[in-house]
Amino acid sequence: MNQTLRHRIGLVIVALMVTMLLSTPVSAQQWARDMFAETDHNFGTVARDSDTAFTFKFVNKYKETVHIKSIRSNCNCTLPSVVDDLVKSREESGVIATFNTSAFTGSRAAKITVEFDKPFYAEVELTVRGTILSDVNLVPNKIAFGGIPKGQQPIEELKVSFQKRPNIKILDVRSVSSDVLVQLKGPTRNQNSVDYLLRVQLKSSAPVGDYKTQLTLLTNDPSLTNIAVPVEGQIRAALDVKPASVHFGPLEPGGSGSQRITLRADQPFKVTKVTSQEKRLKFKVLSDKASPFHFIKVDFEDDKQQQGTFRAPVVIETSLGDDLKGSLLITGEIKAKAE
């Protein structure tokens, strides 16, 4: 079969696939819906001006690149945005739904429509809801730890103020995460408000990465049984390796490729050794001087000995000591060219 004929057959197959998708609306929409872990979220009861947002995460599990053409909300009480509108195969993105607590109060709900135009057209509907209180304020509007190195245990404080509720009491503070310690002080009763102070400490057990959780304040007021308090931070690894995984392929037998990884620490260091059981991988540290940043070039060259997929854990040793080793996973696929 010559190349021209194969090309024509390929075009026919693609055209048939597009026709089938367009002729079955449910299937045409379902490929996009299947990327989302969830499509519905309840913010619960939140304070006025609180920083309240939720990310609907999705993973592109297809070979083709996915593109979000637009996002829109049917209510200004929820403002949508996208983490990354162009998502390559196996990459993750998300749609951020931000509750507009500064402009709205009371029970609110919104539908967010996510419009995809690549690789095929589809729309996914996301739903959010919650209740915004007009007489409860958080100062600041969330517990924000910011960027901190792994192992540190910072403390942040937040004031909870109740207006026109003279008899209210906070009975308990609950957390869905075991990585925070909470101390409640108060109440302090003023002429027009009842105030509490939340003192929140992040424990060293908190995992590396974007950290988001929520505290729930339980009160004695039947009309206000619980209040959500957002908690967030960015926890950096003592030795941060990016990306955490690298993929080569699909490659033909004998094929090759190069990638680069970045290492970062809070103090200068040297890379002393990079090891992997995969013999087709070669590593080159681009600097032998002590620095908070390092780059490592990763070369892969296939030896034509085996086809299929491979997984290769990599260990990076540094002058920071045995407790501060880096790691990443390298994967790949060797696939013979179709005749």
Give the CATH number for residue 109.
2.60.40.10
pLDDT at 24: 41
CA angle 151, 154, 155 (to 5 degrees): 150
On whether both 7 and 122 belong to a single domain, the answer is: yes
Q: What is the pTM of this model?
A: 0.63
On whether both 126 and 151 belong to a single domain, the answer is: no
Give the pLDDT mean for 302-307: 89
CA dist 260 and 239 (Å) reads 16
Share of the chain above pLDDT 90, in %: 74
Give the pLDDT mean for 25-47: 86
Give the pLDDT mean for 288-297: 94
pLDDT at 20: 44
| Torsion sign over Cα 284, 286, 292, 293 | negative
Q: Tell me, yes or no, whether 339 lies in a domain.
A: no
On whether both 178 and 105 belong to a single domain, the answer is: no
CA dist 246 and 253 (Å) reads 19
Boundary of a domain, candidates 236, 261, 281: 236
On whether both 248 and 321 belong to a single domain, the answer is: yes
pLDDT at 190: 87
pLDDT at 191: 85
Token digits of residue 45: 């009861």
Phi, psi angle pair for 25, to nearest 5°: -55, -40
Query: What's the pLDDT tens digit per position in 42-82?
Result: 999 999 999 999 999 999 999 999 999 999 999 999 999 99
On whether both 175 and 251 belong to a single domain, the answer is: no
194: which residues sit within 8 A by CB, 6+ positions away? 161, 162, 165, 166, 168, 186, 187, 188
Boundary of a domain, candidates 236, 270, 286: 236
- What integer best gives the mean pLDDT of the chain? 89
Find where tokens 């958080």 sit: 138
On whether both 16 and 94 belong to a single domain, the answer is: yes
Boundary of a domain, candidates 130, 164, 186: 130
Domain count of the fold of the chain: 3
Give the pLDDT mean for 226-248: 90
Q: Tell me, yes or no, whether 161 lies in a domain.
A: yes
pLDDT at 2: 55
Give residue 251's domain range.
Answer: 239-334
pLDDT at 22 over 50: no
Q: How confident is the model at residue 187 (pLDDT cuts 50, 70, 90)?
A: very high
pLDDT at 16: 46
* DSSP output for 249-292: EEE-TT-EEEEEEEEEEEEEE-EEEEEES-TTEEEEES--S-EE
